[in-house]
Amino acid sequence: MADDKKLTSQQEDFAKWYNEVVLRAELADHSPVRGSMVIRPWGYGIWEHMQSALDAMFKETGHENAYFPLLIPMSFIEREKEHVEGFAPELAVVTQAGGKELEEPYVIRPTSETIIYAMYAKWVQSYRDLPVLMNQWANVVRWEMRTRLFLRTSEFLWQEGHTAHATAEEAEEETRLILGLYRTFMEDWIAMPPMTGLKSESEKFAGAVRSYACEALMKDNKALQAGTSHFLGQNFAKQFELTFQSEDGQEEFAWNTSWGVSTRLIGGLVMTHGDDNGLVIPPRLAPAQVVVIPILRGDDAGPVRDKADEIVSRLKENGVRVRLDARDHLSPGAKFFEWERKGVPFRLEIGPRDLAEGKVALARRLTPEGEKRKAFLPEAQALAELPERLESFQGELLQAAIARREANTVRGVKSLDEMEEAFEDGAGFVFSGWSGDPAVEEAVKERMKATIRLLPDEEFRSDQAPATCVSGAGESVTEAAWARAY
């Protein structure tokens, strides 16, 4: 249904703008279940394209899909001390079933390391059984107290990969491989360029030895943790007796990794590209890349509608995802407004005059400054050029997001006062030296509501990072990228 009410502007209230876009672009809605959402067809269509692209990338790197149970015995969760402590506040527990009290409670899956490695322990006997490279597409439940559609809900959809290896080196290589794969996906498909790097000890996944992350900058200059890849060492293997006989006949524990991204990526897409008119969807992920709107008037309606049908068929033949909007109860203006809000990359209009002249009107959701949003083109030219125009739009979105991230990154900060000033001035990422002392992290968090998002990979590090810690106490052992975050 068309909705011509103006959105709250991003500058006025970014959080309110975000919620309005998600609801009124029909991505999702609040459900009757506390803290959970209903993903509507338009939002789920975006997720399906994300799934399809990622799934192909996983399979190209040798991973297979499987499925593991939703319910996990409480005793499994409790075996890994750090893991249970990290998730305890978020667990949803089943204590009754079939009208009876259960002998052992079940946890509704918050993540699947425990049950998956218990199964791997049954299947792996020898080094010949390794590596095990599995992924599952699933839902998980984490009982969040403060929720926001897509960004943090009690139930969400994701993929979680879990692997087992014969050596620590292989597991570390896998962890880094997936981190790079996530970055490629985010850049090439979402046009959302993340920085990659290592999480600090206080920010790593519960039960991991090391956690790596993709951190992207949203339009309000807050960071979004968009994906994580964890080197788990042998922590879970030891708890679940995941052992194998090595090539020299010794019994050894396997080395594990886990990694995942979720429907949070849809929220990242909204906040990376949306504007005061609504959603902007990168063409590669758009459920419909083009909407065709015939302008139906009087006696000319029949021929115009026939031509619109023909254009739709020709676009489909060219591999373009297209939607026809021939609803007769809405004005053309109302349709334009609705599809702009829903973020369709291109709108193609055709009316009686266009038909007579052999032309169509082609409007792009966003245009470079100084260019007209609507062009009147010969029909054949417009249809032939659309695939190339879609790719150009995709690339321009990525370049704009990279430029925005770099313009809002402050490097070389040498003191806490300087860091605070940078955040007060609206900085996104702030780079500084860090001694590795968690007390410094806590002090910054308390004073500025900012955290270390990652210890950046080499290509994201500063040319000349400060040699002293931002706290002023001690030498810097690493550079840190700080931000306020979702």
Q: Which CATH superfamily is domain 288-387 in?
A: Anticodon-binding domain (3.40.50.800)
pLDDT tens per residue, range 165-183: 999 999 999 999 999 999 9
Residue with tokens 């995941």: 242
Among the listed residues 441, 435, 448, the one whose alpha carbon sits nearest the alpha carbon of residue 474: 435
Residue 401 pLDDT > 50: yes
Q: Which CATH superfamily is domain 409-483 in?
A: C-terminal domain of ProRS (3.30.110.30)
Neighbour-count burial of 182, counting CB atoms closer than 10 A to its CB (0-12 exposed, 13-18 middle, 19+ buried): buried
Residue with tokens 């007060």: 424
Residues of the chain with CATH 3.30.110.30: 409-483
Residue 90 pLDDT > 50: yes
Mean pLDDT, the chain, as a whole number? 95
Confidence of residue 232 (pLDDT cuts 50, 70, 90): very high
pLDDT tens per residue, range 101-149: 999 999 999 999 999 999 999 999 999 999 999 999 999 999 988 899 9
pLDDT tens per residue, range 415-448: 999 999 999 999 999 999 999 999 999 999 999 9
pLDDT value at residue 84: 64
Bigger pLDDT: 240 vs 369 = 240
Among the listed residues 289, 295, 281, the one whose alpha carbon sits nearest the alpha carbon of residue 318: 289
CB hemisphere CA count around 105 (13 angstroms): 11
The mean pLDDT of 148-156, rounded to a whole number, is 96
End-to-end C-alpha distance for the chain, whole angstroms: 31
Residues of the chain with CATH 3.30.930.10: 14-273
Residue 266 pLDDT > 60: yes
pLDDT tens per residue, range 136-150: 999 999 998 889 999
pLDDT value at residue 424: 98
Structure tokens at 86: 């990290």
**How far apart (Å, rounded) are the C-alpha atoms in residues 130 and 167?**
10
Residue 2 pLDDT > 60: no
pLDDT value at residue 1: 47
Tallying the residues shown for the chain, one arrives at 486
Confidence of residue 83 (pLDDT cuts 50, 70, 90): low
CB hemisphere CA count around 135 (13 angstroms): 22
pLDDT value at residue 156: 97
Give the strand pairing for 210-217 and 223-233: antiparallel
346 bridge partner residues: 290, 364
Please tell me what DSSP assigns to residue 436.
Answer: S
**How far apart (Å, rounded) are the C-alpha atoms in residues 24 and 446?**
36
**How far apart (Å, rounded) are the C-alpha atoms in residues 141 and 150?**
13
**How far apart (Å, rounded) are the C-alpha atoms in residues 14 and 7?**
11
**How far apart (Å, rounded) are the C-alpha atoms in residues 475 and 67?**
48
Residues of the chain with CATH 3.40.50.800: 288-387
* Three-state secondary structure call for residue 195: strand
Percentages of the chain per state (helix, strand, coil), in multiples of 5: 40, 30, 30
pLDDT value at residue 352: 94
Among the listed residues 194, 231, 212, the one whose alpha carbon sits nearest the alpha carbon of residue 429: 194
Residue 81 pLDDT > 70: no
Residue 403 pLDDT > 50: yes
Burial 50-60 (b: 16+ CB within 10 A, else e): beebbeebbee
Are 176 and 184 within 8 A, CB to CB?
no
pLDDT value at residue 88: 79
pLDDT value at residue 59: 98
Structure tokens at 218: 């949203």
pLDDT value at residue 30: 96
Return the CATH fold of 14-273: BirA Bifunctional Protein; domain 2 (3.30.930)
pLDDT tens per residue, range 294-338: 998 877 789 999 999 999 999 999 999 999 999 999 999 999 999
pLDDT value at residue 4: 65
* Three-state secondary structure call for residue 22: helix
pLDDT value at residue 3: 61
Q: How many CB atoms lie within 10 A of CB 177?
A: 16
